[in-house]
A and B are shown apart, each in its own frame.
Chain A
Amino acid sequence: MSEKPRDVELIIPMIPEMELTASKTAEALGQFMKLDHDSIDEIKLALIEACINAFEHSDSDDGNVSITFEISDEALTIQISDAGHGFDVSHARQKLQERRDAGTQTRGWGLQIMEELMDEVRIESGESGTIITIVKRR
């Protein structure tokens, strides 16, 4: 756990609908930061997407998702991390794009939704897991 005094850290098990718990925490933090309703709704949707992605694809050993909410005067930054097997981000983006172009893609819009809802989305993935960072500026 971080020692930064203004961070909030949440660990949730990969259990169905547990992403809603994360979204409620995010909602409360958005209100705590006095963000507007639309921004809060967008944060909640993006976070839910990130959590479900981790639940479905991480194949994590410990079965948990760790979420850090970093509160600052400029933004709310949320890091969603799992201890799964990770993936090649650029390769995945390329494959998704190809399937989308070919019209065979029906799911897997999560990443795109996150990017549209948030001001910034970063993905780091490796053998020890994946960290998705989503940022909402004030």
Chain B
Amino acid sequence: MTVAQDTQQVQQEFERVQFELNHRLVQLEVLYQAGMVLSASLASDELQADFMRLAVGAVDARSGFLFRRADTDALFELIEATDDVDGLSLASQALQQAMAAALIAQEPAALTSEDLPGVAGAHVVVVPIGDNVCLGVIDKESRKGVTPFTEMDLQLLSMMGQQAGVVLDNARLFHRMEAERNLTGGILDSVEAGVVSTDLRGNILRSNPVAARILGRPSEELPGVSIVELLRAGGCTRLADAVGQTLMDGASRVVEQETMTPTDVQLNARITGLRTPDQELGGAVIAIEDLTDRFRLESMFKQYASDQVVDMLLSSGHVPALGGEMCEATVLFVDTVGSTELLGRIGGAEMVTLINECFTELVEIVLGHGGTLDKYTGDGFMAVFGAPLARPDDTTRSIRCALDVLASMEHFNESREHRLDIKIGISRGQVVAGNIGSPRRMEYSVIGPDVVLAARLCDMAAAGQILVSSDVQEQLGDDVAREHLGRHIFKGMRESMDVFRVHPSGAICSYEPDTSAVIEDRVALDVPMTTNMEVVVSRTARAVGENLGLAADVIDEIIAALVEACINAFEHSKSKSARLRLEFVPSPEALTIVVSDQGHGFDVADALSRIRARRERGEMRRGWGLELIGEFMDDMHIESGPEGTTLTLIKNREPQQPREKQTHG
């Protein structure tokens, strides 16, 4: 060998080593980059997409793809591919088998178009990433055209796969931990009590915001702090001692009525030993209940009333009793119109989204006007003005709120494909306000006849209408346009009620307070409970029906129902006054007849069930009255009690123009 040959050989060897070193350097750079990319995000989906693009670039591949399978028996599912790869061409059984083999061997596999018929590429490498994901690269491109992937490419891809597999596992673990932490944190944050967990030495591990507030230290400062020392320094010596004992023996303890001096919080606490899965004592959990008015009010009202209302309650010194209290309040019901039909058209998920978006806006308006959200009623809600805090302008604020709610719906519907309409009913009167429910679930709410009336007014309203009771109407100023819609008998109510419609624009119709306009169109008949007096009732009913222009067969049905009702009352009411009162109340929609006696009443549900039982046993010869009445009328309600029985019968009619009373002299 000549010197020149030696020199040439050395030169070639040098170039080869230099090439290899350069290549290793590139590999290291790629792996470093991959590490940077992979560690920059813990979102699995983003990681996988970034990793695939990195791998395609690192080995000069034309295309790339990523598959995942849920478990070892399942087929692979394409999760990412470069744009030029047709998903269908990847769905071959041969590729699925190759990827499954690569995952089992945990090694990359180089394949050709002969191995993978149908896959658009001459050369394919599949690389396992962790246990369930497979990366594929297709066709190495160089100046020479498409070439097979080199051994170095396979090594690089293998190392990248291992690196990504570890990071992906970490990401999944992180996500699982994060989900669990969020769940635990969410639960902790949402509970109304303060919660602190400690290790066996009494050092705080975790706490929720309520606990931090009670203890008077920011949440982030609490971990590591000794709870026993913190409580003792705050003057809660009994609680501090009890925690210390529980950390020794693991027994649960309750401490009542201590005051945390720095925050002036009066509290009750329950301490429970925290045990490891093998039942070793590992620390303690302390649940602290804040007994002060502010906290009680905030926890009672934070979801339902504006901060302003809570502040005013506190400054007023009027803290609502835990039981009920009578007060005067204005109740507002909002209901959506045609929601069932809309639900059928757009489906449950979209409907829920629409309703939630709508109510989010509307409830803000209610709170903004100082109202309290009482409850959601499916596709509507109920709000109260005047409870827990009464203000002189409760009713006017409720009306302004209703007008703003209607106006906001126009804006809401402008930007949406599906229109949502609402209607509103408002009433005012004495209510009982307080925590209502069972010990399992108590909510601050109001109940009373005017709550029912507001709901009935809301039922009666058409889309876009605000209907109010006379008590509400009387408190409105001249600037609020309203019209009298007459008197109506509502389900479950003995007396007919004046109904007013409030108009959104003052220009439509201005209501002139005029007592002569509020006159009753009803016919009242009071008869003795004497045999054949039902004939007098039926003749009067016929004349009323004829006067209203009802059809003859409709009048016959009304009379049949009334005769049954009269005879029932004559025979069974045992009324001391021995009189029966009937009111015929016409409205454009219906004729409502209220039949009331002053008898001893009866248990309606019990009577109906006994009648049913006797009928089933074949013992029933009479007692069909109620059933007949129900058959003849469109609707019927019975209310019975020691003061007597009231039967409300409703016969629907074709809409009519209300007639005017004679006022000329």
In the complex, the number of residue pairs spanning A and B with C-beta atoms less than 8 Å apart equals: 102
Task: Kindly list chain A residues whose C-beta atoms are within 8 Å of the C-beta of B544.
Answer: 21
Minimum CB–CB distance from A8 to chain B (whole Å) comes to 5
Task: Tell me, yes or no, whether B536 is within 8 Å of chain A by CB.
Answer: yes
Is B530 part of the binding interface, using a Cβ–Cβ cutoff of 8 Å? yes
CB contact list, B507-556 vs A, under 8 A: 515-516, 519-528, 530, 532-533, 535-536, 538-540, 542-544, 546-547
* A62, B520: Cβ atoms closer than 8 Å: yes
Interface with B: A27-35, A103-111, A114-122, A125-133, which one? A27-35
CB–CB B547/A15 < 8 A: yes
Residue among B522, B524, B533, B577 facing the most chain A CB atoms (10 A cut-off): B524
State whether A31 touches B535 (Cβ < 8 A). yes
Contacts A21-B523, A25-B536, A63-B516; A7 near B659 (Cβ below 8 A): no
CA distance A18 to B546 in the complex (A): 10
The smallest beta-carbon distance between A127 and chain B, in angstroms, is 15
CA distance A9 to B577 in the complex (A): 14
Residue of A with least CB distance to B522: A13
* Residue of A7, A27, A56 touching B662 (CB-CB under 8 A): A56
- Interface check A73, CB cutoff 8 A: no
Indicate if the CB atoms of B543 and A5 lie closer than 8 Å: no
Q: Is B622 an interface residue (CB 8 A)?
A: no
A55: B residues at CB distance < 8 A: 662
Hey, which chain A residues are within 8 Å of B520, CB to CB? 13, 62-64
A123 at the interface (CB under 8 A from B): no
Q: Is A57's beta carbon under 8 Å from chain B?
A: yes
Chain B nearest CB, measured from A92 CB (Å): 14
Q: Is the CB of A1 within 8 A of B526?
A: yes
Contact A11 B536 (CB under 8 A): no
User: Number of contact residues on B: which range applies?
Assistant: 35 or more
- CB-contact partner of B532 in A11, A15, A32, A63, under 8 A: A32
Contact between A7 and B524, CB atoms less than 8 A apart: no
Picked from B540, B581, B659, B663, the residue with its CB within 8 Å of the CB of A16 is B659
A14 within 8 Å of B (CB atoms): yes
A20, B535: Cβ atoms closer than 8 Å: no
User: With an 8 A cutoff between CB atoms, is A101 at the interface?
Assistant: no
Cα–Cα, bound, A7→B527 (Å): 7
Q: Measured between alpha carbons, how far is A3 from B659 in the docked complex, in Å?
A: 33
A6 within 8 A of B: yes
- Does B375 lie at the interface of the complex (its beta carbon under 8 Å from any beta carbon of A)? no
Q: Does B440 contact A (CB under 8 A)?
A: no
Q: Check B523–A27 contact: CB distance below 8 A.
A: no
Asked if residues A28 and B547 are in contact (CB atoms below 8 Å), the reply is no
A17 adjacent to chain B (CB < 8 Å): yes
Does A98 sit within 8 A of B, measured CB to CB?
Answer: no
- Which of A12, A23, A56, A61: most chain B CB closer than 10 A? A12
Known contacts A7-B528, A9-B526, A63-B520; A25 and B540 CB within 8 A of each other: yes
On chain B, the residues within 8 Å of A96 by CB distance are none
Q: Does B318 interact with chain A (Cβ within 8 Å)?
A: no
CA distance A12 to B542 in the complex (A): 14
A56 close to B664 (CB less than 8 A): yes
Our pick among A25, A27, A56 for the contact of B525 (Cβ within 8 Å) is A25
Residue ranges of A at the interface with B (Cβ–Cβ < 8 Å): 1-3, 5-18, 20-21, 23-25, 27-29, 31-32, 55-57, 59, 61-64
A3-B579, A11-B525 given. 5 additional CB < 8 A pairs?
Answer: A1-B581, A10-B525, A13-B522, A13-B661, A25-B540
- Listed in ascending order, the chain B residues whose CB lies under 8 Å from chain A are 515-516, 519-528, 530, 532-533, 535-536, 538-540, 542-544, 546-547, 577-579, 581, 659, 661-665
Enumerate 11 A-B pairs (CB-CB under 8 Å) in ascending A order. A1-B526, A8-B527, A10-B526, A13-B522, A13-B661, A20-B547, A25-B536, A31-B535, A32-B533, A56-B662, A63-B520
